Chains A and B, each alone.
Chain A
């Protein structure tokens, strides 16, 4: 296993379009996290899954955002009707179980909304 992977690495879209990102965690990891990072800031928590169950969502995650992990393996993060403020790096991380375990981060998907 080569670690956490994310696809695409870069995405440029026009305002109002929908985008979907994919994260493939390390195979035996039960926990999967999504974070958002804007320029010059630390990452901010968006949501996380324990297997296929979405256990917590940040208030940052408006109703335009939805995340799924249908089979407890890969996850998708969809943003509908993108806005320029959605431009950021979207990071995915996975861990074995609880948050007190080491989290392994993917390379991120950089989104630019024009």
Chain B
């Protein structure tokens, strides 16, 4: 079992739909990162959060540290949102990031 698990692994949506990607982790994580990776490999950091909720444009990230769960929401999805979304957290025992395997999102017009 991976220490950081995401669901679903693959997600397709029609433009305009509300998207939710979930991340659950079994290790003690002090904060959680949501990353976006487009085809070709470039990774962009979307959020780093340790409690509550953060919003940036159409993206919303929430985290419940006690339940060890985080969600990434995309409102009014657009084809340019198509990418792999990865959650990652630093273990409280070490300073390295532990990554989920990613959720591949495809948004069709």
Contact = CB atoms under 8 A, between A and B. Distances in A.
A35 B88 CA distance: 13
Interface stretch (A14-22, A69-77, A79-87, A94-102): A94-102
Interface size class of A (residues with CB under 8 A): 20 to 34
A107 B42 contact: yes
Contacts of B4: 42
Question: Interface SS of chain B: helix, strand, loop or mixed?
Answer: strand
Interface residues of B, number: 24
B50 interface: yes
B41 A89 contact: yes
A111 to B, nearest CB: 12
Scoring A41, A58, A98, A99 by chain B CB atoms within 10 A of each residue's CB, the highest score goes to A99
Interface of A: 33, 35, 37, 40-45, 48, 55-56, 58, 89, 91, 93, 98-105, 107-108, 110
